[in-house]
Structure 1
Amino acid sequence: MSASNHNAWLNLDDDELTDDAVNTLLAPIHNDLWVTSACVDRILNDTPVQHTLLTLGLSRTDRVIERCTNLAALASPSPQGANSKLDTLLHHFQNTPTDALLCYLRSVLLRRLDRLSTYMELEKVFPKHIEVEIEDVIEEWEDDPWADGNATSSSSRPTPPSNPTQPPPVSFADFLQNDLLWSACELAALEAFDSLRILQQKHNAELWPARFKIQSCIPEHAHPSDSSNTFPSLDPSLNRETVSIAAKWRDQPDFSELPLVQEALKGSGIPLPSISDSEKKLAFTPILDPLTADELSAWYKDRVQSVISSTGMIDIALALVQHAASQGIPALDELGEELSLLAKLVYDAPQSNIINEDWTLDSWYSMDPTSVVHAYLAHASPEVLPHCISHLVMPYLYVLEAKAERIGKPDPALATRILYEYILTTSLENVAAIFEASKPTLPYGQRIISNDEDMVRVALACLYSSDILDQWTTMSGIFECLPVWNVPQDEENDIGEAGDTTITSLGVFVTPSTNQPPCTAMDLMVFLQPLHLPSLSRLLDILDVHLESGEILSRWSVAAPLRWFLQSSDNIREQRAWANRMARRAGEKDDKLQGLDDWEWLLQDMLKLTGNGESSARSAFCLLSREEVSSIFLTGLLTSDNFEIAKLMLYGHHHKLKLSQQTVEAVCLAASREFYDNASSGNYKIGDMKLAYECLEVPRPSETIAQEKEFIEATSRISSFNVSSSPGVAISPIEIRLTKDRLSLISRVLSSNDDAYKHTQVILDLGYKLGYRNDTIAEVKILAMLADTALQAEDFARAYENNERMVELVTGLRNSSQSEWDDTKVRETLEVCWIACFQLGRQPEFPDLAKKLILLCHALEFCPPDKIHDVLMVWRRLESEDIQRREEKLTRGITGKPNAVGVPRATAMGTFTGRNVASSLRARLHDFHMPSPPLLSTPDAAALATRTFKSVAANFPFGHRGRSDIDERSEGSRRTDGQDVSSQASRVFSKGIGWLIGADEAEL
């Protein structure tokens, strides 16, 4: 029977054990050691069966405990009584190993029985199940995104589980085997605080030294109200940590658990079985003595830091401090105060949609008050900003004031100063919201800014430091919230003078320079701080004017920051420049003004900005007269090519533009020239040149307007000749206008076009249009250029014709001059004329000898005295050629139609011409009181003429094209170098006559 029970028990699995199996298989066995060992060997999750096993095992050890107790009691008392009992037990265990084993196993069973009792108490507070609403589960399934599109009926829908059970935080088997500290930390980590409280009460002696290890396992996110019994508290009577009261299962330990018995078992030398409940052990530093108040405060502060750093949950940290304060922990008031303010920042202040701030106590302590205020209001919209200031910022600022008082440094103005710093640096929308909540009409206690003068100072500093150009409605809204003061009439004059002085100083203050950076709102606040009500009232009046001016400028897309009105209040150049911008920008906008009404509106606004010419009005154009503003407006109207509207406003029925004719003419000329200078083409039928020409139709006709029109026509004519400023680049209109000597333009026209010289009248008209109408000297120079160009083209007929016209003009000019040689321009014109005649008269290729002699006669007539020798030398050569030619004709018997006396006509003409020349020469020599040179044909005379003519010809650049072919052909006709200087003059003359009209030789 006994053997079969042994085998049946050993073959029975743990999950098959029941109370009946214990009573029917194990209890009948008589071997107490075997039964007790069997009870110790089994660890079950079934608490009732485990309790039966433990009870059975303990019952089998009762006799051993009784024997050992009696032996210990019989030990003779002695001074070494304790040692006597130990020796008795030690001797007994050595002689009776079975009793020793049973005694040891009994201590194990008792420990397990205590834990079983504890676990049964824990089971009462374990969560039994998770409450799940069936409707929520069904709704969740209906919204299943992975379900197919077909609706399923309720009958086909799976049935959701009903009240699914949750396993206990710690299984019974683990609880029996694990170290108690391990189980306690596990319960703490699982936030099973009721179970942890029971465990600590029932096993206080074992867990007290490790209480802070257990508390460190509580998750940082756990709310202190749930785990309040696990955190340390203060015993105010002892000013030390409160020691928790133990509630053991047994008041007295069992005999087997006595230290004396355990020592005897260890010293007996009997091999006891190694029964380790579990290998799960936790290392910790035991703390046996209760902590002091300061140590408790430090522990809570460390816990707060840990909570914030690991979770960022400021509310949990604050709740922890509040719990500590309720437990009497000292020195946490300041920390609680800071956490309360930080909690408002994290949970009450408006947040952005993307939360990227990681707030910690370290970051909070690192911020200065201004940064904290900005953090409170960083994401506040204008609608909620006043509420946030009242409920978040102001309490924080009051705490700062209280701190300053606590440390003995009171600062009553701290709150307003920091608040004003925020207002001065925030956006205009926020400023407007704050001022709306600070209106003087509101109750004093409800106003954010309660001081009227401070309101004005802050508003002025914000507005005049702002660079915003598109929020004039917002700025006007700020102005509407400001207080209105009634200043006595007798103080107005003094206030006005003081205000004007203040405005001037303020304008200088806000103007940046190399030594002064741009002025900030804080700088302006410092400047305005000393000002009192009278000056502030005057500044408000001026601010009103500036805001109205700013709105007008913004309307026409030339907005200026408010401080510009201060900077330009005494600067007429700046006001004039801005008026020009306003007038011109109106025509440049995308929605360019089209109708007369729009332009009249612009004129009305510009005139309004003058303030009727009163500088004290401080409007945008207060230093400009209405006439000047009207002329600036007309400039903008013309430069936007609205010529018809300009005519209507100048001469129409309403006559909106009241300007003198001289002013209108000056403005139109300036606008036309601006179009001209910007033109890319000289053709006055297209582009800006066309606008320049049409612009001159606006004013009344006058000589000046006519001349400007002719100049535009001349520009168009020059452009049609394809004149180039550089190779491949056509000359631009601006180059034409900037040309100082416009006769050089005619020279460039002639040099750029082979046939231009043939159109004498066209070229002369071009000269007239270039500004030389009724200018005889300029006309002579033009004819000289035409003659020179014709000569280079070997068109001797046109060259002679131009020379004759030139001689006619010069003759009349000389006769009209009272002093021929005193007038520089006349002398210059005479020089141009005689050189042109001499140049053509000396050309060998010109076959008409009679005309050449006539030209030389003109040259002798107009040339200076020192050049007569040179001209005479050529004239004598031509005369000799004429005589030789006649002699050759007579020798060969060439007959012509005889004249009246039988002399050929050519001979008679030559003779007549010779007499005239001789007579003219004698007359000129007589005028200069010079004798007729007897040695003109000698080598010395020829050399002298050559040297003289070289010095003159070196300054005769007659055009751009060379005459090398003519020079080569004429080379063979020369007799000697000493007697004939015509070849040298020919080479020099071929350079043109540009030098005579002021052109640079290098340029030509």
Structure 2
Amino acid sequence: MDSSDHPHTLWVALRDEELTVQNVEETLASVDDDLWVAAACFDRLLDIVPVQRSLLDLGIKRTAKVIERAEEIISLSDPGADGVLTDWFSESPADAQLCQIRLVLLERLDRLNTFVEICKELPAKEGHAEDSDIDEEWEDDPWGGENATVPAPARATAPTEPPIPLSEFLVEDMLEMACFFASQEYTSALRILLLYHSSALWPMRFTILDSIPGHSHPSEYRDLLPAYDINCGTELKPALSHWRAERDWVESAEVKRALESPEVLIVEGGTPTDGTSKQVQPLEPQKLTAWYKQRVDYVLSTTGMVDIALATIQHGASQGVPELDALGEELSLLSRLVYDAPHASDSDVDTDWTLSRWHSMDPSNVVRAYLAHSTAQTVARDISRLVVPYLFVLEARAERAGQPDPELPNRLLYDFLLSAPLDIAAAVFDASKPIAPAAQRLIRNDEDTARLALACVYGSDSRNEWPTMSRIFECLPAWDISPDNEDEADETDATIISLGAFVTPSTTRPRCTPSDLFLFFKPLPLVSLSRALDILDVHLEAGEIFSRWGVAAPLRWFLQSANDAAEQRAWANRMARRIGGPGPDMNGPGDWEWLLDDMLKLSGTSDNGVKSAFGLLSQVEVSSIFFGGVLSSGKFDIARNLLRRGGKLVLDPNTVEELSLSASREFYDNASSGNYKFGDMKLAYDCLDVPPRSDRLAREKEFIEATSRLSSFNVMSRPGIPISPIEIRLTKDRLSLISRVLSSNTDAYKHTQVILDLLHKLGFRDDVVAEVKTLAMLADSALQAEDFTRAHEASEKMISTVLKLRTSVPLGLDDPQVQEASEVCWVSCFQLGRQPEFSDTGKKLSLLGRALELCPPDKLHDVLTSWRRLEKEDMEARRERLAHRSTSPHKRPIANTKTASSLQARLHDLHMPTSPLMNAEDAAALASRTFNRVASNFPFAVGSRGRSGPSQDDARSRSRDESRRGFDGDEVSAQASRVLQRGIGWLLGADEES
């Protein structure tokens, strides 16, 4: 026979994918060498079940003879001899190899049968995406060979691809495959694997279970989870199943020990890994419970899926595992929080929930967590289905612990309600109405309902939820209870008064919370609660009125101001002026009458004797505040209309006048400009036309006109900043305003009547002394401007006024006003009369004569000395004129020493007493201006005046000009410097002669 046709050669030449059942039976089976055939069957690993099965069957068949030889050797040896098999295997290595090959092939056959069962279960049990990706056009049987005839147990008709190929399944580590199936959630494959290979895998069952992902639902592998055997008091050990009813001889422990000896060649198989922790014995109850708790922690920490953890605990409890009820209860409550409680629509469910986090929360926080995202529409239902079961569990636990606390559920629910928003609280109160059946009410105690409602609304800072507060009030019980006696009534009133003090902020309690208020209401008897509800009804109505007009206040304000008339008055002013926020547009008298009706209503008393928000104010006072608000809004036409129509607005003329003056002054004080033609100053002016005309109103209007005139003169408050109206009003000495006008406007003195009219409108219409002082200031200003004509005119008018005053005052010269006016007049006349620059000697003598007439006796010598000197100068001037006439008109006389001495004496006499009409500031301003004027017009280096021409109004007489031109220039310059220094000293208020 050709060597190429030898069976050995043919078998080796066949590739794995070419092998069929027929090849095995015809080629391999024809080889006579059992060891070679067994080794060939051991060496081939195929993915086709029938071919692989034929190989395994052939290999097992060809190793059967070794068992016969082994039995014969054992039978011939001594019964008690040890190491017979080891010696035999050492002497006959071929038989040892056959035994080892047989042991491996038997295990592979068992795995093959398991693989077939797994493939049968795949279509029905597995639903993984990787199992459904099947080539629909694949019509070949992946397990069968060509013309193969396979027994029924070996036939695999499932079209689903198995988890791993058969060739790998036969040799892979059993534990690794089990963990792989567990991690991929091939639960049916894992179940079959554990069923038929439990002897190898059961000691590593917890390692396998730990490989199952945390998100896998325990119902999918419930028969794999450990259970409790109540009869044995330990873990329930499952029944073991095997593919073969009896174990083969080579699988005995004695044979395995002999094969594992160092002297025997080892053939590697697919035994489990020895390095894995094993749990051969069933677990004790405590350890079994600990494993379930550990599994729950793993599920929550890796996935946060509370439902999976709960299902795991429920399964363990159903399997009799002890001490899981409490944990299951906790997980059940946590599951409600995670899955049943409402969540924010714009965020995912919080997955960061663990048992440690749950256990760290106190009951009140759990209740708030249940209702954190509840709305007014769902909160009542959420409390019933989420919070109430939780509270029942807490109460049951307290009873089981021997510490019953019947008030615990109410306390937790009340705490939530006191911290909830008003709309949430309103929904809870709506579900607790007294008319509802007790079993359906969330709050079943009527008195507690009232206390909670009072605490919620009075403890709220809300200013715009009045409909919600009214809805809460409508849910409260209605008690028709009155105090039985006077003492009880006094006690009730004292309680309500103390409530106002209780809600008032203090250093120890800046804000009174709803919880604080609930503690206050807790001990109150029913009669006090009924009275508090009556007060709440009135306060809610007042709060709605306040909100309507844009002056909303928190409800507690009505308690704080109940005995505070000043606070009520202040809020009435806010309401009349509509200070605080938007309100209805006030376009006509009807809108304002609506406001008046509401304000008068707030000053009334309810049918139950409860005073409203303005209960401490009379209706007349409220009407006055209202009318002041109309005026402050600038609605003067509406104010006049309301006064004409009368109606509920009944105010006497004096009150109307006072209110108009007050509103006008407020406009005035707030005005940024003094011009009464626009802005707030116009409002201040027009406001005075609302009441009938009177002297007070006329004077106030004149003062506004004066303010406008002062603003037109550009009087400055500070450099570059015009004086404001409020500064004008606050000026104590308003005459100083006249002085400031004259000092800041160089031509103001020329308008005598304008200045006097300004004086009258500033409030000095009948004040003769003020008029005299003003005329004196006008004369002084004209004098400083060297306008002697106007200075003399002002002086003459001043003299006439003073003389008339001296004859008209009943007390005569002893009257203080007469003395003051006379003092001003003689000083002004004396000042102008001895002014050397004033050339009209006759007028100067007349002024000095008036000074002599009006001055006090101690000043007569000074005035008389000046008068005599002036008279002497006049005499000398006359002589000069006569001498000039006797000489040639073309010759100019030479100035003599006597004339120079006379001028020097006049210049020396320029120093004047300080004017009593000017303060230091105005004197300094005048001094500065006068210095500049004199310095610019006085030529110190030449002998002439340097005027612009002979047409000046105040030109000197020819004789005086000629006499001055006769002086030496240096002498005139020196004398002028000294005169100028003395003049500046007078302006600054110097009293000593230099």
Same fold (TM over 0.5): yes
2:121 to 120, 125, 134: 125
- In the alignment, which residue of structure 2 is the partner of 1:108? 104
What is the one-letter code of the residue matched to 2:91? N
TM-fit CA distance, 1:816: 3.5
Mark the CA change 1:458 to 1:643 in structure 2 (over 3 Å): closer, same or farther. Answer: same
Paired with 2:71 and 2:651, the residues of 1 have a C-alpha distance of 135
Is 1:420 aligned with 2:414?
Answer: yes
Q: Which has the higher mean CA deviation after the structures are superposed, 195-204 or 284-293? A: 195-204
- In the alignment, which residue of structure 2 is the partner of 1:6? 8
What is the one-letter code of the residue matched to 2:575? M
TM-fit CA distance, 1:121: 2.5
> Once the two structures are superposed, what CA deviation does each residue of 1:916-968 show, in whole Å capped at 9, x if it has no partner?
xxxxxxxxxxxxxxxxxxxxx9x99x99x999958999989768323446699
Mark the CA change 1:576 to 1:615 in structure 2 (over 3 Å): closer, same or farther. Answer: farther
Matches within 5 A, 1:174-185: 174-185=168-179
1:509 to 497, 502, 505: 502
Paired with 2:299 and 2:545, the residues of 1 have a C-alpha distance of 59
> Once the two structures are superposed, what CA deviation does each residue of 1:488-540 show, in whole Å capped at 9, x if it has no partner?
5x638656533321221111111112233211111111111110110000000
Number of residues paired by the alignment? 912
- In the alignment, which residue of structure 1 is the partner of 2:683? 691
Paired with 2:918 and 2:463, the residues of 1 have a C-alpha distance of 67
- In the alignment, which residue of structure 2 is the partner of 1:74? 76
Say which SS state the counterpart of residue 578 (structure 2) adopts.
Answer: helix
**Identity value in percent:** 53
- Residues 457 and 528 in structure 1, CA contact (< 8 A), matched pair in contact too: yes
- In the alignment, which residue of structure 1 is the partner of 2:563? 570
Matches within 5 A, 1:916-931: none
Q: Which has the higher mean CA deviation after the structures are superposed, 496-505 or 526-535? A: 496-505
- In the alignment, which residue of structure 2 is the partner of 1:304? 296
Paired with 2:416 and 2:323, the residues of 1 have a C-alpha distance of 33
> Once the two structures are superposed, what CA deviation does each residue of 1:583-625 show, in whole Å capped at 9, x if it has no partner?
1127984764111111110111111111159996231111111
- In the alignment, which residue of structure 2 is the partner of 1:155? none
Is 1:203 aligned with 2:197?
Answer: yes
Is 1:473 aligned with 2:473?
Answer: no
- In the alignment, which residue of structure 2 is the partner of 1:904? none
What is the one-letter code of the residue matched to 2:283? L
2:50 to 24, 48, 51: 48
Matches within 5 A, 1:636-715: 636-652=629-645, 654-715=646-707
- Residues 587 and 593 in structure 1, CA contact (< 8 A), matched pair in contact too: no
1:15 to 7, 14, 17: 17
Paired with 2:508 and 2:340, the residues of 1 have a C-alpha distance of 45
Paired with 1:633 and 1:992, the residues of 2 have a C-alpha distance of 54
Matches within 5 A, 1:409-808: 409-488=403-482, 491=484, 496-585=489-578, 589=582, 592-611=585-604, 617-652=610-645, 654-808=646-800
- In the alignment, which residue of structure 2 is the partner of 1:148? none
- Residues 373 and 422 in structure 1, CA contact (< 8 A), matched pair in contact too: yes
Say which SS state the counterpart of residue 126 (structure 1) adopts.
Answer: helix
- Residues 836 and 910 in structure 2, CA contact (< 8 A), matched pair in contact too: no
TM-fit CA distance, 1:878: 0.5
2:807 to 810, 815, 821: 815
Is 1:235 aligned with 2:233?
Answer: no
- Residues 202 and 280 in structure 2, CA contact (< 8 A), matched pair in contact too: yes
Mark the CA change 1:781 to 1:985 in structure 2 (over 3 Å): closer, same or farther. Answer: farther
Paired with 2:301 and 2:917, the residues of 1 have a C-alpha distance of 101
Paired with 1:730 and 1:72, the residues of 2 have a C-alpha distance of 134
- Residues 242 and 290 in structure 1, CA contact (< 8 A), matched pair in contact too: yes
Paired with 1:859 and 1:383, the residues of 2 have a C-alpha distance of 97
2:926 to 955, 961, 965: 961
TM-fit CA distance, 1:865: 1.6
> Once the two structures are superposed, what CA deviation does each residue of 1:90-136 show, in whole Å capped at 9, x if it has no partner?
44333333222222211111111122222222222223698899xx9
Matches within 5 A, 1:175-324: 175-267=169-261, 269-272=263-266, 274-277=267-270, 281=273, 283-324=275-316
- In the alignment, which residue of structure 1 is the partner of 2:29? 27
Say which SS state the counterpart of residue 717 (structure 2) adopts.
Answer: strand
Say which SS state the counterpart of residue 244 (structure 1) adopts.
Answer: coil
* Runs of 5+ unmatched residues, structure 2: 134-156, 888-901, 941-963
Paired with 2:494 and 2:39, the residues of 1 have a C-alpha distance of 109
Mark the CA change 1:983 to 1:22 in structure 2 (over 3 Å): closer, same or farther. Answer: closer
TM-fit CA distance, 1:306: 0.8
Say which SS state the counterpart of residue 617 (structure 1) adopts.
Answer: coil
TM-fit CA distance, 1:864: 1.5
What is the one-letter code of the residue matched to 2:710? I
Mark the CA change 1:531 to 1:799 in structure 2 (over 3 Å): closer, same or farther. Answer: same
- Residues 314 and 343 in structure 1, CA contact (< 8 A), matched pair in contact too: yes
> Once the two structures are superposed, what CA deviation does each residue of 1:627-659 show, in whole Å capped at 9, x if it has no partner?
11111111111111100000010123x444211
- Residues 634 and 646 in structure 1, CA contact (< 8 A), matched pair in contact too: yes
> Once the two structures are superposed, what CA deviation does each residue of 1:133-166 show, in whole Å capped at 9, x if it has no partner?
9xx99xxxxxxxxxxxxxxxxxxxxxxxxx9954
1:389 to 383, 388, 395: 383
- In the alignment, which residue of structure 1 is the partner of 2:164? 170
Say which SS state the counterpart of residue 960 (structure 1) adopts.
Answer: helix
What is the one-letter code of the residue matched to 1:44? L
Mark the CA change 1:239 to 1:952 in structure 2 (over 3 Å): closer, same or farther. Answer: closer
- Residues 53 and 109 in structure 2, CA contact (< 8 A), matched pair in contact too: yes
- Residues 580 and 633 in structure 1, CA contact (< 8 A), matched pair in contact too: yes
- Residues 613 and 622 in structure 1, CA contact (< 8 A), matched pair in contact too: no
2:364 to 360, 366, 370: 370
Paired with 1:695 and 1:271, the residues of 2 have a C-alpha distance of 125
- In the alignment, which residue of structure 1 is the partner of 2:950? none
* Runs of 5+ unmatched residues, structure 1: 138-162, 896-936, 996-1004
Paired with 2:253 and 2:729, the residues of 1 have a C-alpha distance of 124
- Residues 7 and 31 in structure 2, CA contact (< 8 A), matched pair in contact too: yes
What is the one-letter code of the residue matched to 1:960? A
Root-mean-square deviation over aligned CA pairs: 3.3
Paired with 1:38 and 1:269, the residues of 2 have a C-alpha distance of 24
Q: Which has the higher mean CA deviation after the structures are superposed, 119-128 or 658-667? A: 119-128
TM-fit CA distance, 1:201: 2.5
Q: Which has the higher mean CA deviation after the structures are superposed, 824-833 or 518-527? A: 824-833
Say which SS state the counterpart of residue 218 (structure 2) adopts.
Answer: coil
TM-fit CA distance, 1:328: 0.8
- Residues 429 and 475 in structure 2, CA contact (< 8 A), matched pair in contact too: yes
TM score, norm. by length of structure 1: 0.86
What is the one-letter code of the residue matched to 1:800? H
